[in-house]
Amino acid sequence: MIRMNRAGRALGLGLALACTGSLALGAESEFSLSTGIEYSSGSYGGTDDIEELYVPVIGALYFDRFALSVTVPYLSVRTPSSTSETDPVGSTTQSGLGDVVIGATVFDVFSDYERRIALDITGKIKIGSADPDKRLGTGEEDYLLLASFYKFFEHFTLMGSGGYKVRGDPPGVDLNNTLLGSVGGSFPVSEVARVGIFYDYREASLQGADPASEVTVFLTRRMSNTLYLQFYAFGGFTNSSPDWGGGLYVSIN
């Protein structure tokens, strides 16, 4: 099973997108469609790199204080494999549908406009749609509950989150439920662009494994009233995180 911290990274990027104003809604509903591509590479404690390509399609329906989302990803994983005495290390690539994720968020569960702070609550269900025989996922459902905090300053937005994930156990494997969190900030560099950085952490799901620990830097740019682009790069610090990676997201409202 590939170890990755994409959940925490996606959470932080979601917080960053929220601070561009793309989620500012009126009383009527609004639909958003996003897609992107992410590449990562890491040895995960081994001697050879594992490479991953992740391509999600995300549909979200926003109301005044509530949102529903569905993420349908394509996943491709290249892993080292022993082949023969003359070619001891080759590679194997498996690809297909990743884990579909359904999410719901309640905005402004707590807010104080004088102090410029707000708190959102999100719940997510990861459907075990990725093929476990291809080692693209566990084949089991996971459940995530998290709180996202915002503090708005004049030229800086502080972002943080904390959550708890309940993991389904595949046959013969006992996975731990995990705490995860993210903290960071962003600031405008022009009227249409923001840059930022955040750190995310997730407890290990396997006994004796390292926790996941990563830093991500990003640039978000509003191309028009309905089109947003986000570029990001990240690096990991433990054997449960990729060594490095990056990606691009496009969002249309």
pLDDT category of residue 91 using cuts at 50, 70 and 90: confident
pLDDT at residue 83, as a whole number:
46
Is residue 2's pLDDT more than 50?
no
Is residue 86's pLDDT more than 70?
no
Region 74-93: mean pLDDT is 74
Q: What is the CATH number of the domain that holds 124?
A: 2.40.160.40
Is residue 88's pLDDT more than 90?
no
Q: Is residue 86 part of a domain?
A: no
pLDDT category of residue 80 using cuts at 50, 70 and 90: confident
Q: With beta carbons less than 8 A apart as the criterion, state whether 197 and 183 touch.
A: no
Is residue 34's pLDDT more than 80?
yes
Is residue 67's pLDDT more than 70?
yes
Query: Token digits for 196?
Result: 């930022």
Q: Is residue 37 part of a domain?
A: yes
Region 25-30: mean pLDDT is 62
Query: Token digits for 194?
Result: 């923001």
pLDDT at residue 20, as a whole number:
44
Q: Is residue 221 part of a domain?
A: yes
Residue span of the structural domain in which 114 resides: 6-79+91-252
Helix ranges, the chain (H): 6-17
CA dihedral 185, 71, 98, 17 (to 10 degrees): -20
pLDDT category of residue 89 using cuts at 50, 70 and 90: low
Is residue 129's pLDDT more than 60?
yes
Kindly tell me the burial class for residue 89, based on how many C-beta atoms sit within 10 Å of its own C-beta (0-12, 13-18, 19 or more).
Answer: exposed
Q: With beta carbons less than 8 A apart as the criterion, state whether 132 and 92 touch.
A: no
Region 146-151: mean pLDDT is 96
pLDDT at residue 14, as a whole number:
57
Q: Is residue 54 part of a domain?
A: yes
> What is the helix, strand, coil percentage profile of the chain, to 5?
10, 55, 35
pLDDT at residue 3, as a whole number:
37
- Determine what percent of the chain is predicted with pLDDT higher than 90: 77
Is residue 25's pLDDT more than 50?
no
pLDDT at residue 167, as a whole number:
96
Mean pLDDT rounded to a whole number for the chain:
87
Longest dimension (CA), the chain: 70
Region 87-101: mean pLDDT is 85
pLDDT at residue 45, as a whole number:
83
Kindly tell me the burial class for residue 136, based on how many C-beta atoms sit within 10 Å of its own C-beta (0-12, 13-18, 19 or more).
Answer: buried
Q: Is residue 85 part of a domain?
A: no
Region 130-144: mean pLDDT is 94
Q: Is residue 109 part of a domain?
A: yes
pLDDT at residue 13, as a whole number:
58
Write down the pTM of the prediction.
0.87
Higher pLDDT pick, 246 / 18? 246
All residues at 6 or more sequence positions from 85 whose CB lies less than 8 Å from its CB, including other chains: none
Q: Is residue 71 part of a domain?
A: yes
- Domain count across the chain: 1
Q: With beta carbons less than 8 A apart as the criterion, state whether 177 and 169 touch.
A: no
How many CB atoms are closer than 10 A to CB 110? 11
Is residue 224's pLDDT more than 60?
yes
pLDDT at residue 253, as a whole number:
84
Q: Is residue 84 part of a domain?
A: no
Q: With beta carbons less than 8 A apart as the criterion, state whether 146 and 163 touch.
A: yes
DSSP string, 61-102: EE-SSEEEEEEEEEEEEEEEE---SSS--EEEEEEEE---EE
Query: Token digits for 10?
Result: 């996606």
